[in-house]
Structure 1
Amino acid sequence: MRNFVMSGCTLTALAAAAVKSGDLVVANAVFGVATGDAAIGQEFELDTSGGVYDLPKVAAEAWDFGQVLYYDAAAKKVTETQAANLKIGVAVNPKGEAANAPIGRVRLNKSF
């Protein structure tokens, strides 16, 4: 197949804001986890493979295993609240995530 470019598990993106390795980055409908640091305007690699990550969450929320999760761009945290937030994955801690925990285990979707 001559028009195949790449698998798409990692994409090169341009940093709209400073990015640190491990940050969840959302650019329109593309989201993933930064594999390295980048200053504004620099290229960086974004892992879009759909892996499992420990990410900042809305601390007041308690999540159940398999619960659908969204990204709140204003708070820069993962939340259970759909509202105008982007659906990004599901909670995957087998014991669930306790309220008041600042970090939650999330399996990111590969696409919408």
Structure 2
Amino acid sequence: MKNYVQDGKTITFTPTALVASGAAVLAGALLIVAIAEVPANEPGEFVPEGVFELPKATADEVAVGAQLYWDDTAKAFTTTATDNTPAGKAWAAAGNGDASVAVKINA
């Protein structure tokens, strides 16, 4: 195929701040997870799909399958849609007090 670009399992992105391996960052409206540490202003490889254990707003109660939103200021998932980016579905429940949630990103 002349129009094939790649399989879409990774994306090259240049963040404006250091991104730790396994940390999530927004590339526009796409949430991506760093494969390895990526220095600020350097291109690196990120994963745009899959299930990851990522930070969540500690007070949020999350049910399996719930729509989750990325709070780019707090760098965590939340159930609050206002001022946040839709970025995935909860893969497992997480309660008040839990600092992370299993989430299928970009679902």
TM range (shorter): over 0.9
Asked if 1:32 is matched to 2:32, the reply is yes
- Aligned partner of 2:80 in structure 1 is 81
- Aligned partner of 1:6 in structure 2 is 6
Q: TM-score, normalised by structure 2?
A: 0.94
Separation of aligned partners in 2, 1:88 and 1:58: 14
Q: Equivalences for 1:23-102 in 2 at 5 Å?
A: 23-48=23-48, 50-93=49-92, 96-102=93-99
Give a deviation string over 1:69-106, Cα, whole Å, max 9, x none. 0000111110000002110111111xx21101111111
Dislocated runs of 4+, deviation >6 Å: none
Q: TM-score, normalised by structure 1?
A: 0.90
Separation of aligned partners in 2, 1:74 and 1:81: 13
Q: Structure 2: any 5+ residue segments left out of the alignment? A: none
Which residue identity is paired with 2:54?
A: L
CA RMSD of aligned residues (A): 1.0
Q: Structure 1: any 5+ residue segments left out of the alignment? A: none
SS in 1 for 2:19: coil
* Count of equivalent residues: 107
Provide the identity percentage: 33
